[in-house]
């Protein structure tokens, strides 16, 4: 209020303005902070300590089960919105772990990595993601460290830094959802959740085992791994 009056040509200080407002029962509305100072300090620390972009858009891995990318995508259903977390092996572009949850939180991401760790030794591997809060949370970071995983994060606002994972999400939606139900039906949440979940499972099985990829020499991810099980420079 004081700044507004001064801009209008009045010579007045904030104390006088406060007194006049108080005498006339005019109280300004102060927007309270939603969280405590400790929470804001913790968030700031999280942002300042985000893992480096180790991949730097180099989406090539010469050996299987060594470098992974991960992301969360939305599943629109008639029962509400769900979230699919996927982990893909950059060596042969195989979806090696996935999990569906009702919230895109760190728990979903941790449990997806846990599933992967049950079949693969993740020591000295790399997992790359964007800077979503689920991936930069201390819980998720600590879990990766406990498994000996090096975390890599995209730069802020750079979707191309996780282009390999974004590519799979696009394929899943275009070939897996839109081709089956139409884009309009999927986006308008017309499909029951169980049908969507079943289609996710079926499409990932198809993608891994039968969908040929030009970058793999017209082989599916499973065929490529079978042909080059120890790596390909």
In the prediction, which pLDDT does 40 show?
A: 58
pLDDT 10s digits, 73-107: 999 999 999 999 999 999 999 999 999 999 999 99
pLDDT 10s digits, 40-58: 565 566 667 899 999 999 9
Domains with residue ranges and CATH for the chain: 67-227 (3.30.420.10)
Terminal Cα-to-Cα distance of the chain (whole angstroms): 68
Query: Shortest CA distance to 129 belongs to which of 87, 90, 89, 171?
Result: 87
The overall pTM is greater than 0.85: no
Which sign does the torsion angle of CA 84, 89, 90, 95 carry? negative
pLDDT 10s digits, 141-153: 999 999 999 999 9
């Amino acid at each position: 209020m004081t700044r507004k009056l001064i801009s209008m040509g009045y010579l007045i200080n904030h104390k006088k303005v406060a007194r006049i407002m108080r005498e006339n029962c005019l109280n300004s509305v102060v927007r309270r902070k939603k969280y405590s100072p400790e929470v804001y300090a913790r968030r700031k620390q999280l942002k300042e300590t985000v893992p480096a972009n180790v991949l730097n858009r180099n989406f090539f891995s010469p050996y299987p089960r060594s470098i992974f990318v991960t992301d969360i995508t939305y599943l629109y259903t008639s029962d509400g919105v769900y979230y699919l977390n996927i982990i893909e092996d950059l060596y042969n572009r195989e979806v090696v772990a996935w999990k569906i949850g009702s919230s895109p939180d760190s728990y979903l991401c941790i449990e997806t990595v846990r599933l992967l760790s049950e079949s693969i030794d993740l020591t000295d591997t790399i997992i790359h993601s964007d800077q979503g809060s689920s991936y930069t949370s201390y819980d998720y970071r600590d879990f990766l460290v406990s498994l000996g995983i090096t975390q890599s994060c995209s730069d802020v606002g750079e979707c191309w830094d996780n282009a390999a994972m974004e590519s799979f999400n696009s394929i899943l939606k275009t070939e897996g959802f839109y081709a089956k139900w139409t884009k309009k039906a999927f986006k308008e949440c017309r499909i029951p959740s169980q049908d969507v979940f079943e289609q996710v499972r079926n499409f990932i099985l198809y993608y891994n085992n039968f969908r040929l990829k030009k970058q793999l020499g017209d082989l599916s991810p499973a065929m490529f791994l079978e042909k080059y099980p120890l790596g390909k420079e």
